[in-house]
Structure 1
Amino acid sequence: MTTIPRDRLRELLDAVLDDENDTVAEMATDAFTSPFHFGRQVALGSGESPMAMRRRVMLERAAWQLRQGMTVTDAAWAAGYGSVEGFSRAYSRAFGHPPSTSAGRHWLPAPNGIHFHPPTSLWVRATEQTMNPLVSQLVAHDLDDTAALLGIAETLPEGVLRAPRQSGGTVTAWEGPEESICAVLDHHVHTKEVWLAAIEGADDVPRHSDADVATLRVRHEALAPRWLGFIQDLDDRGGWDDRLIDALCDPPESFVMSSVVAHVLTYAAHRRQLVRAMLAEAGVEVDSGDPILWFRASRGEE
């Protein structure tokens, strides 16, 4: 008689991902152990805490379900969120775009190769490509913070958004003046659109200086998954030293991809803080934009 060896880690993972288990205590009960030992065993075996793994895999499942046509509301309930707003915030932080925008992939970075595999299984990658956490945080913070600033700006009157606040002010010499809140946000969104066009081999993207903030928000929601997907693909294949020959430049120029990402993130951070200064000048209460506070909030620590 052949005895199949017991796979204790798989039993623990089954308890983590059981739809009926919302807390570590419930998971531990299913696994016939104490919450303390359960959390310790899962962390040692997978490199991830039970709740962190559950949240991540449930978001991966939600991304797949949304691609199959499930509504955002149903995906939120299925993932265990008490509100659509809470689900949308968590989903946007994880994937870099709201759940209403289709995801190019449904796997998120993981320390253990454990992922949701449709329709109800797990997939364990032999080797997991995990993005450098610094790059991941910088990119995610930029996209999340941009969406937050656009959301604030969208509530303000056009007069406040277009009022000149730094006469002749420029961020880069080749892009012209950025004297108002709307102008800075427009340049900020347009920068990624231009680089993505060059990377994807598309036509140049003209800048519409008269675009309103609602339009900028829609444009940002469209570019966010493309930009995040580009960064993830670049990191997955170790392409940071690849070169882009940008035919949209006159004459064409060559750029190392890591320098392109550093360029975009540097000016993005500057423009976001510039918008904050302009909002404060206009009497609008705004946060500091500190990535430390954003990171803590994204982990549910605040």
Structure 2
Amino acid sequence: MHRLFATAIAVSAFALTACSGSEEAPGEEAASEYNARQYMQAINDIGRLDDQEQDAARKPGELLAFAQIDRGDVVGDFIMGGGYVTRLLATAVGADGKVYAFQPEEFIAFRPEYATEQDETVRRYSDNDGNPINIFPVRGPLVEPGWPEQLDTIITVMNFHDLYLDQFPEGTAEQAIGNLYDALKPGGTLILIDHVASEGGGVEAANTLHRLDPQMAMDALTAAGFVSEAESDIYSQPDDPLTANVFDDEIRGQTDQIAWRFVKPE
């Protein structure tokens, strides 16, 4: 089974190489290279068959294109949760890339299944001897994951608001954001996807609705040195009133979400 996943990664990496270069017209800007279609090998990866029922809502190709993921990239999945994004990245970065899947110790203490889900995701992309191929587990405090090396990109999906939860010490968000900044290579990017709160929702929206106040987040990120580079409406849901808890049945899976790309200046 492990060998099957290893082969899938190698085949996917070859296919991505084949489809990402020769048809580009001379003089096209680099940004035009990124589109959802080029990531079909990653989307159809055998290691994420169980994830595909979520794809209609989570738009994996559009996410990877917005994040501008390339083969060979070193990417961190910050607060990996059940591993959806980690598994999506596995083939997208190719056999020469690395994915560091971070599960905070605080989250594991709250819900031990997070550790099991991390272990299972790594196992899917390990060789017959249990050695990781290109997904590597990272565990540590929320504010200091302990990334093994500097990263090209960090992606955090629907978890950034957790930095503002009351059960964490004061200053957690600022410390975590500072660590994310330091973890990136100069020129590296931070991709942030999260549920939108009403204007002025602040930390209360994070704690009561599990939503992120965009202005609060923008101010914190730019204060840490990040520069806003792009935003996308790929997860826009204009009918979301922004007032319901994201786990409520009437809104779950249909929340309005921000999609931001920040860069660490070179």
TM-score, structure 2 as length reference: 0.26
More strand by share: 2
Question: Which one has a larger percent helix, Structure 1 or Structure 2?
Answer: 1
Higher relative contact order (CA 8 A, sep 6+): 2
* The structure with more radius of gyration: 1
TM norm structure 1: 0.24
